[in-house]
């Protein structure tokens, strides 16, 4: 029996959250997190747990307008925060989110920050918010990060969908600056079945777009799907195995501009 979309993402969110909690087990809450400014592991866990609770509120209340996201951004640790307590709180929030998701019909209208209007948007978003910050936490403690190829491929497609939206950029000018004749990018996941992990991003027309398939491009980026996903979020795993062919500066510029609204 095929799992529903909500069941699929509920399972992924709880799995990623458990792995995140396990990654920081025994660490110090004050451990700095590389690449996230002055954030520590305590900040990180508060952020992820707050995001889960924010999205759960949107779905549970059937919100039709923006819901305050203070709990996502106001993440200053309390002086007595410890990782065991934060990890337990994080896991509890993920379980709450998963339970609400499982009990909500897939066609339920809810507010979303990008086109969708359905709970699946939040289910998918929280999956990759968690998977990404699990990488950050793992890097902070010097651990080894793994992510299955199927989950990574879905995360890439979520990011690509966002990359075509005007609101993903800091300004219309930043998006327009990427568009030029004969400007394309090709992503090739080396650990995917033939043709299943390849994407062409077309920056030669307005509106920009993306499609599946193997194509010649201005810039080609090749490597394992988890490494490709991390690169889209401007993270590079040690020995990630990425190869860039052609205009590497185009890839770097595109990733930074299109990922503006997902930064942090």
DSSP conformation class of 40: B
Q: Which fold has domain 5-140?
A: 1.20.120
Position 167 pLDDT exceeds 70? yes
> Which pLDDT value is given to residue 264?
64
* Domain residue limits, the chain: 5-140, 149-262
In degrees and rounded to multiples of 5, residue 241 shows phi and psi of: 80, 20
Distance CA 244, CA 188 (A): 10
149-262: CATH topology is Nonspecific Lipid-transfer Protein; Chain A (3.30.1050)
Q: What angle do CA 226, 161, 153 make, to 5 degrees?
A: 25
- Classify residue 164 as exposed, middle or buried by CB count within 10 Å of its CB (0-12, 13-18, 19+): middle
pLDDT in tens, 55-70: 999 999 999 999 999 9
Q: What is the DSSP string of 139-157?
A: HHTT------HHHHHHHHH
Among 153, 174, 152, residue whose Cα is nearest residue 163: 174
Provide the pLDDT for residue 1.
41
DSSP category for residue 250:
H
- The predicted model scores a pTM of 0.95
Beta carbons of 38 and 119 less than 8 angstroms apart: no
* 152-165 mean pLDDT: 96
Question: Element (H or E) spanning 212, and its range?
Answer: strand 209-212
2, pLDDT greater than 60: no
């Amino acid at each position: 029996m095929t799992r529903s979309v909500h069941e699929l993402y509920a399972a992924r969110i709880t799995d990623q959250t458990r792995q995140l909690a396990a990654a920081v087990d025994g660490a110090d809450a004050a451990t700095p997190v590389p690449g996230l400014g002055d954030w520590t592991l305590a900040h990180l866990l508060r952020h992820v747990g707050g995001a889960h609770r924010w999205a759960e509120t949107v779905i549970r209340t059937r919100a039709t307008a923006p819901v305050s996201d203070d709990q996502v951004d106001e993440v200053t640790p309390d002086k007595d925060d410890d990782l065991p307590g934060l990890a337990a709180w994080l896991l509890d929030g993920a379980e709450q989110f998963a339970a609400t998701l499982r009990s909500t019909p897939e066609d339920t209208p809810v507010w979303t920050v990008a086109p969708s209007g359905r709970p699946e948007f939040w289910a998918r978003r929280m999956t990759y918010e968690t998977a990404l910050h699990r990488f950050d936490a793992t890097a902070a403690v010097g651990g080894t990060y793994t992510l299955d190829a199927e989950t990574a491929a879905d995360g890439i497609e979520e990011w690509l969908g966002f990359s075509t939206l005007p609101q993903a950029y800091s300004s219309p000018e930043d998006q327009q600056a990427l568009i030029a004749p004969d400007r394309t990018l090709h992503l090739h996941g080396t650990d995917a079945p033939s043709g299943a992990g390849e994407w062409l991003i077309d920056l030669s027309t307005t509106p920009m777009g993306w499609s599946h398939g193997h194509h010649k491009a201005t810039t080609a980026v090749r490597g394992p799907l988890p490494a490709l996903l991390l690169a889209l979020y401007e993270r590079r795993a040690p020995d990630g195995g990425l190869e860039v062919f052609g205009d590497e500066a185009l890839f770097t510029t595109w990733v930074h501009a299109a990922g503006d609204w997902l930064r942090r």
